Structure 1
Amino acid sequence: METKELENIIKICNKATRPPWNSFIEERDHESGSNFIMTGDENDRDYDIEFFNIRKDDQDFIAMSRNVVPQLVSEIIRLQKILKDSSISF
């Protein structure tokens, strides 16, 4: 991927509600209520994202993605810079 594409991914992530995002599944993580993603942490919560029709694994993926995609993309950019600076080509 080109740096511009990677930077666009970071830009989109930065527009989303800040992490962390934590997935809560009824009967797995709590006894009653709905399945939701809690945004922010317990001491500084933002809003909850509720789902009415979603697979539990998809909900977990969405929450995990918000937390790690910016880090993964930043690491790719960092490694590409190292490769470019060392004049190694693949």
Structure 2
Amino acid sequence: MKKKDVTQRSPEVVPDITEQEARDIMHRCEAASPGPWTSFVEGRDHTCGSNFIQTSGEDIELSGVTVADQDFIAAARQDLPRLLAMLARLQGWSL
């Protein structure tokens, strides 16, 4: 499957997130291991071992993902709660 060139995005119609959907996403964030999560890639961040995501609990080792996917997953742990808080503030929601 060919990856989409994100530098040439066409406008996509994406439905708005409802307050309930935002609450559901926030609950999933709260249920996950506390952040921050950090992506470690062999040869980039350390010199021996495997690629992994460091959490406040057990490390996460993924199989079959790209470095970009791993970095995205790790960053999402910090990014999603911040984005949800901003969305709630702008919409006047209480999550």
TM (norm. structure 2) is 0.77
Partner of 2:30: 14
Pairwise CA distance, 1:78: 0.8
Partner of 1:54: 65
Structure with greater helix percent: 1
> Following TM superposition, where does structure 1 have runs of at least 4 consecutive aligned residues deviating by more than 3 angstroms?
none
Partner of 1:65: 76
Q: Given residue 50 of structure 1, which amino acid in structure 2 is its aligned partner? A: E
Partner of 2:3: none
Q: How many residues align?
A: 77
Fraction of identical pairs, as percent? 43
Partner of 1:31: 47
Structure with greater strand percent: 1
Pairwise CA distance, 1:52: 2.9
Larger radius of gyration: 1
* Stretches of structure 1 lacking an aligned partner (at least 5 in a row): 41-45, 83-90
* Stretches of structure 2 lacking an aligned partner (at least 5 in a row): 1-16
Q: What is the Cα-based RMSD across aligned positions, in Å?
A: 1.2
Partner of 2:85: 74
